[in-house]
Amino acid sequence: MTSSDSSTSVRVVSPSGSRETSQSDPEVGSSGASSEPPSPVDARVQRDLEVMMSDHDLDTAVTEGSLAVIRARYNIPTEYGLHVPKPGQRPYSLDIPGMCISVDALEAGLRFPLHPLIEECLKWWRISPSQVAPNSWRYLVVFLGECRGAGIIPTRDLFMACFRLCKSRGSYYLTARVGFRVSGTPSSNKGWKSHYLYVSGLGWGFGLSWSAHPDRQRPPLSVRGGDRPGRPTEGYSFIFSCDQGDDRALAR
């Protein structure tokens, strides 16, 4: 974690609407109560999060009987537990057994164990995987495939030079920066918010609590490619295509 990361206060608003707290906020005492009223920015962050949660206030369509099918179809190792939400549990709930993920994310190519770049991006963005729209997982999967094919070591800075994280009413999503083309993705993934389950593992390298905050972006970098891993040269350009079926296995 960089020095700028360590000085950033991460706020988490509970689904019950309780006052948000921050570990690094000097005005928050041991009781978790702040002596000052929330700032306009804090109020907007909480309002945005409540709106995002309301869009995901849906029962899941995943059943206990479908878990074995999901495990087999998406090659989920046995060391990861699969769980159907209990009545009243939602993707943003705090009392969940693990990471919440949409079946559409698995269909987009997300695989377990997660690729280190995916964990690093989620940690940097400070959002939960269940807040990410399915098409954005496709971009991550294909990016990893392009890097592998070009002999490029995938890094967060390089990925953020190609894509920008944006926030909509109900999710976060990625858009390609100027100079990059993305093709082959569905125009929409209707119904993905009601196809979710929980995945438990040995631990995650990112937070699972939902958040809403100003987007964290890296300044664009010059993209470099090369013919050997770790030895980039100038002049490589990415043209992303999301209809490459073989790339699904690369997001791990």
Q: Which two tokens stand for residue 120?
A: 């690093």
Residue 166: inside a domain: yes
Residue 138 placed within a domain: yes
Question: Is 11 within a domain?
Answer: no
Range of the domain at 154: 55-250
Q: Return the amino acid letter for 40.
A: P
Residue pair 153/230 in contact (Cβ under 8 Å)? The answer is yes
Q: Is residue 27 part of a domain?
A: no
CB atoms within 10 A of CB 2: 8
Total domains present in the chain: 1
Residue 87 lies in a domain: yes
Cα–chain-centroid distance for residue 15?
19
For 200-251, what is each residue's pLDDT tens digit?
Answer: 998 899 999 898 765 555 544 444 444 333 333 333 344 444 443 433 333 4
- By CB atoms closer than 10 A (0-12, 13-18, 19+), residue 22 is middle
* Three-class SS state of 78: coil
Does 224 fall in a domain? Answer: yes
Residue 77 lies in a domain: yes
Residue 118 has pLDDT above 70, yes or no: yes
Rounded CA-CA distance 210/60 in Å is 18
Q: Give tens-digit pLDDT for 26-43.
A: 333 344 444 566 677 678
